A and B are shown apart, each in its own frame.
Chain A
Amino acid sequence: MSIVETQGLCKVYGAGETAVNALRNVNIRVEKGEFVAISGASGSGKSTLLHMLGAVDQPTSGRVIVDGIDVFRRKENELAVFRRRKVGFIFQFYNLIPVLTAEENVTLPLKLDGQPVDREYLHDILNTLGMWERRKHLPNQLSGGQQQRIAVGRALIHKPSIVLADEPTGNLDTQNSREIMSLLKSSVRKYGQTLILITHDPSIAAQADRVIFMEDGAVRGGNQL
């Protein structure tokens, strides 16, 4: 059963002679619990596709259907709820909120949703991420690897059905990369989540159930189950 599906997804930046086709008629399907890696050269449209799936960017045309819901038919405020409940986003540059502590950054989606924090689950996540001791630190007091662990924690705290990761290890050393990937995989396995991950690293792509290759804004392979 597919949890994510795109139909004729197109994205054009700019207009006229300067128009850039970032996505050209992208049609993909991702099944529930699947770990899909998206690979391709720089500018191939990987991040644009991921942003569409996470509803942080609007397509020029086409549809994104998540759990049977046509995402972009929703209003902005409904999209905000969708982003904090359905999706967990991990960025290459962590993008933590500098004034919030590690713990506050992790629990941010819950607070935005007005939901109480499950202290046991929080403890479990921070422990798993190896960040329990540093939970009171501000982002600028943490290393890159530690910040990315917090970003992973933030993506998982709401137990979203889909985790979207945009080169989560692109800015990390080998050791940290390995640990982050291990954490992500064990988490999605444990909670039955779907993981869609962008990577340039063949060893990470090799760990995925399926790899989608993109070129010039179009899917060139790996879209079949």
Chain B
Amino acid sequence: MMSLVWKYLKQQKKRTVLTVLGVVLATALVASLGIFFSSFQRMMLTQSAYDDGIYDVALNGGITAEEMEKVRNNYLVEQSGTGCTNAFLLQESAQGTEARYSLKQYDAGAQAYFPKELLEGRRPENSSEVMIPSSMKALGGVGDTVTLPLYYSSFDEETGRDVEQSGGTVSLTIVGIYEGGNRWNEIITGDLLPASREMGMLSQYITFKPGQNKSDALNTLLKDTQMGEDVVPIKNDYYLMWKGEGGSNGMQLSLNLTLLLLSAIILLAMASVIRNSFAMSVSEKMSQFGALRCVGASPKQIRNMVLGEAFLIWVIAVPLGILLGIAAMAITFSVVQRIDLDALQYFKLVLELWPFLITVVFSLAAVLFSARTPARSASKISAIEAVRGSVVFRDAAVNGKGGALLGKLFGFTGSLAGKNIRRNKKRYRTTVFSVTLSIALFICIGGFGQKFIQSITLFSDEEGVDFQFSYAASSDPEEAYQNLVKLKNQISEDPGVADLELFETTESYLLVPKDQISKELFDLGETGDHTFTDENGNDLISEKGSEQRTLVYFIDRDTFAKLPLSEGAPTYDELVEQKGILLNPTAVVSSLETGMTTYPIGTFEVGEKLWLSGPYVSSGSLEDQGGSDADGYQQLAFQLPIAGFVENTPWFNTQRFNPQIYVPQENRGLFLEQGGLVSAYGSDVYLRVKALPDQKEAVNQRMKDYEDQNYSLHNIYEQEKENRNTATVLNIFVYGFLIVVIVICSLNLFNTIHANLQMRKREIAMLRAVGMDNRMLWRSLLLECVLYGVIGTFWGSIVGFSLQALLSVVISGAIEMELLSSPLLYIGGCLIASILVCLMAGAGPIRRLIKSPIVQEIRAQE
């Protein structure tokens, strides 16, 4: 029988090839998804191992030596180690600045819990040996010894502050350098320092014996050892979650559900290809099956023949699909690895067994399930019907409904097309399903992916700040300012720098009186910082008005000169004299739908006195200067006059979501005098740098040289580059997935439309015999193809947007993002694309049908 099955497959070579191709692609896609998810899981596991360690539970907060011993000997504990993580080394520079280095001390047991990738040397073996991260090479190389003062920090519950305690001076020999960028600035010893043991601020890391529920084991351990109240047990949740051993597994659940959902969609597409292909195949072979029945084949044998065809296709397609999946992912990973993206440092191709097992089992189930109905239909053929030639596959039942509207629009050819697409309910549904699935996936995955990418790249601003320096070691803004002035002078020499500004900044709240609130902004509803209504739409504005978070910039004469001031604004000296402020009363509201839009927050006039407040003023109390609130906090409210307006947000302002106030440096005291706002909030001093568009990468390399213990660099340029790279990686995955699914659906579409037309050869010949010319025939048949596209797009849009909503809920455990939609663009694009694919699917067979002699088709059928 199998030889006959094989002959049937060879007989219908084209359809067999298309079906195998569909199964290969679907299998490859499921395998790729599995590989992707298992690689992702491994990446997260590796990352959490490097970040948090690979222990189950840490017992922190002053565990005693006796308690440690008890833990070690407990029957639930497989392995344990001791560490001290609250020590740091202090290094003073020649300029008198200080740098702190975290000193992690682990005994041999604990070291095994904190894997590091060694770049040079070896791991430390005792308390006087250390390994340092590659980012701290400035401290010394392998073989060097550093002698630095040691401190311990601890939290004082009475004062509620961190307390630092000296541990003397230690000499440590660098024996190894491990891979670590900015993430791990930790010096690691090979054992606990004697001073640390004496201080008693140790942590114990534990791994429980296999098969234990970690939470239950921890509770039992705490009970058995009667641990003191000081001990704080912390489960290594993130690591355990990725290891699949408990922890908060919301994210993993989300990812698993996403994997299942995507696999289900792919398998559904594949099942549709097979179901359709076999329905057509059975339909064409009805008389042959009938003949087999006449010569004694049992219904079961006939059914098994059809299922055997499906099985053979599966046997051919699955290995090819898995190999294709591996190859595709290997190529994708090699491309992804070339993208400079820190977050994907550990994203490497992982080939585990489970994705392939899932692929094999699921694809077999999908293949056999989808071939089941055609197989059953074939087995029901009666021998006598076959002999009489009156067998009709139940898929071929014809109805003559529809076409009225199309008849009115396109005349008789439209009416005929309308009737023809619905003539066979099952085949119509299958064809529309293929289009629907493609469109739905395109809208769902493509739209979702695009929104996700947009949310990553939304806030990038090519014209804005590229680099920001702040003074790291000192809390004194005066000192910080003076140090950054020196840096500013150095950087201003750089030929690639387009502009740079140095300023001190703080924040405040300004009162927008009720009758001056911007209607445009109010009508927007809930918009982050500028919310005038709560989630239920209730008005949040008090009788006095609405307090709006505002940025305050203390600027110098140079910066003032570059501000885009409104007409009639005072000069710098006048501003100092008037003790007034410059206001930019606008704020940017961001939305994935509209992008970034600038709105006024209210209407203000020159000369008007603004109510400003510090952090502890409650709504409506801004005019009550000097009082105290219920908790006894000083209320910091005061008034300053508006001397002029800044018309646009200047480039150096990175917080565009808030209005800004600009105050001459000389009047900084106003804020202190009138309520101590700056001292209450604290202020920051920043040097912000903008590079010339074509010089950004070169300037980036040079800016890194300025980063040392004195200056901390916030590299916005690299951050945005990383965002763009993330978007590229996502694009590769999202569109790669989409393209393959659409190809599968297109194969199905080609299969169906081709078979639809092939099975109507005689009928089409008849239409030509009674006088239908080629032009009419083309019009009618192409209209059928267009209709599939239009109807598929309609249903696909509905399903796609619903799936998008579902996916956003499913994935919400892993990624936070708002669900948005931009339907018209997507639907329009889908409509055009689907019509084109349908036309492509139909054009070939139609051309062949028209070229074929009429009489040949009539005779062939007779």
Chain A positions within 8 Å of B, measured between CB atoms, are 48, 51, 54, 56-58, 76-77, 80-85, 89, 91-93, 95-101, 108-109, 111-114, 138, 140, 154
Contacts between the two chains (Cβ within 8 Å), count: 85
The answer to whether B770 and A83 have CB atoms under 8 Å apart is: yes
The answer to whether A98 and B412 have CB atoms under 8 Å apart is: no
B412, B420, B762 pick with most chain A CB within 10 angstroms: B412
The answer to whether B412 and A112 have CB atoms under 8 Å apart is: yes
A14 to chain B, nearest CB (A): 12
Sampled A-B contacts (9; CB under 8 Å)? A51-B855, A56-B858, A57-B855, A77-B775, A82-B771, A91-B858, A100-B416, A112-B773, A154-B770
The answer to whether B769 and A83 have CB atoms under 8 Å apart is: yes
- Is B766 positioned at the interface, with any CB of A under 8 Å from its CB? yes
Name which residue of chain A comes closest to B777, CB basis.
Answer: A80
Q: Given the complex, which residues of A lie within 8 Å of B771, measured CB to CB?
A: 80-85, 109, 112-113
B400, B763, B768, B770 pick with most chain A CB within 10 angstroms: B770
The answer to whether B855 and A89 have CB atoms under 8 Å apart is: no
Interface positions of B from 387 to 406, Cβ below 8 Å from A: 398-400
Q: Given the complex, which residues of B lie within 8 Å of A85, measured CB to CB?
A: 771
A97, A99, A114 pick with most chain B CB within 10 angstroms: A99
How many angstroms from the CA of A113 to the CA of B776 in the assembled complex?
Answer: 10
Known: A58-B853, A138-B400. A99 touches B773 (CB 8 A): no
- Is B854 positioned at the interface, with any CB of A under 8 Å from its CB? yes
Name which residue of chain A comes closest to B768, CB basis.
Answer: A80
Contacts A76-B773, A97-B416, A100-B416 known; list 12 others, CB within 8 Å: A56-B769, A57-B853, A80-B774, A83-B768, A83-B769, A84-B772, A98-B398, A101-B400, A108-B767, A112-B771, A114-B411, A138-B400
Name which residue of chain A comes closest to B861, CB basis.
Answer: A93
The answer to whether A112 and B772 have CB atoms under 8 Å apart is: yes
Q: Which 8 A-B pairs have the closest CB atoms?
A: A84-B771, A80-B773, A99-B419, A57-B855, A111-B412, A83-B771, A56-B854, A95-B766
Known: A93-B862, A101-B400, A140-B398. A54 touches B769 (CB 8 A): yes
- Is B609 positioned at the interface, with any CB of A under 8 Å from its CB? no
The answer to whether A97 and B769 have CB atoms under 8 Å apart is: no
The answer to whether B766 and A76 have CB atoms under 8 Å apart is: no
- Number of B interface residues in the complex (CB < 8 A): 27
Q: Given the complex, which residues of A lie within 8 Å of B762, measured CB to CB?
A: 95
The answer to whether A99 and B774 have CB atoms under 8 Å apart is: no
B787 to chain A, nearest CB (A): 14
Q: Given the complex, which residues of A lie within 8 Å of B862, measured CB to CB?
A: 92-93
Q: Given the complex, which residues of A lie within 8 Å of B773, measured CB to CB?
A: 76-77, 80-81, 112
Residue interface mask B301-313, A partner, CB < 8 A = 1: 0000000000000
The answer to whether B855 and A56 have CB atoms under 8 Å apart is: yes
How many angstroms from the CA of A140 to the CA of B392 in the assembled complex?
Answer: 11
Chain B positions within 8 Å of A, measured between CB atoms, are 398-400, 411-412, 416, 419-420, 423, 762-763, 766-776, 853-855, 858, 862
Q: Given the complex, which residues of B lie within 8 Å of A154, measured CB to CB?
A: 770
Name which residue of chain B comes closest to A160, CB basis.
Answer: B771
Q: Given the complex, which residues of A lie within 8 Å of B763, measured CB to CB?
A: 95, 97-98
How many angstroms from the CA of A85 to the CA of B774 in the assembled complex?
Answer: 16
Q: Given the complex, which residues of A lie within 8 Å of B776, measured CB to CB?
A: 112
Name which residue of chain A comes closest to B419, CB basis.
Answer: A99
A84, A111, A154 pick with most chain B CB within 10 angstroms: A111
Question: Which of the residues A51, A80, A101, A140 comes within 8 Å of B772, measured between beta carbons?
Answer: A80
The answer to whether A95 and B768 have CB atoms under 8 Å apart is: no
How many angstroms from the CA of A82 to the CA of B769 in the assembled complex?
Answer: 10
The answer to whether A99 and B775 have CB atoms under 8 Å apart is: no
Name which residue of chain B comes closest to A48, CB basis.
Answer: B855
B837 to chain A, nearest CB (A): 24
A135 to chain B, nearest CB (A): 13
Q: Given the complex, which residues of A lie within 8 Å of B774, measured CB to CB?
A: 76-77, 80
Known: A80-B772, A84-B770, A154-B770. A99 touches B420 (CB 8 A): yes
Known: A77-B774, A83-B771. A138 touches B854 (CB 8 A): no
How many angstroms from the CA of A108 to the CA of B412 in the assembled complex?
Answer: 9
How many angstroms from the CA of A99 to the CA of B401 in the assembled complex?
Answer: 8
Name which residue of chain B comes closest to A98, CB basis.
Answer: B398
How many angstroms from the CA of A34 to the CA of B275 in the assembled complex?
Answer: 55
How many angstroms from the CA of A66 to the CA of B776 in the assembled complex?
Answer: 25
Q: Given the complex, which residues of A lie within 8 Å of B768, measured CB to CB?
A: 56, 80, 83
How many angstroms from the CA of A98 to the CA of B858 in the assembled complex?
Answer: 15
The answer to whether A95 and B858 have CB atoms under 8 Å apart is: yes
Q: Given the complex, which residues of B lie within 8 Å of A98, measured CB to CB?
A: 398, 400, 423, 763
Q: Given the complex, which residues of B lie within 8 Å of A100, measured CB to CB?
A: 400, 416, 419
A66 to chain B, nearest CB (A): 14
How many angstroms from the CA of A54 to the CA of B771 in the assembled complex?
Answer: 10
A58 to chain B, nearest CB (A): 7
Question: Which of the residues A54, A97, A138 comes within 8 Å of B767, measured between beta carbons?
Answer: A97
Known: A91-B858, A100-B419. A138 touches B770 (CB 8 A): no
Q: Given the complex, which residues of A lie within 8 Å of B399, measured CB to CB?
A: 99, 138
Name which residue of chain B comes closest to A140, CB basis.
Answer: B398
How many angstroms from the CA of A97 to the CA of B772 in the assembled complex?
Answer: 13
How many angstroms from the CA of A77 to the CA of B773 in the assembled complex?
Answer: 5
How many angstroms from the CA of A46 to the CA of B770 in the assembled complex?
Answer: 19
Name which residue of chain A comes closest to B396, CB basis.
Answer: A98
B200 to chain A, nearest CB (A): 90
How many angstroms from the CA of A220 to the CA of B398 in the assembled complex?
Answer: 44
Q: Given the complex, which residues of A lie within 8 Å of B419, measured CB to CB?
A: 99-100
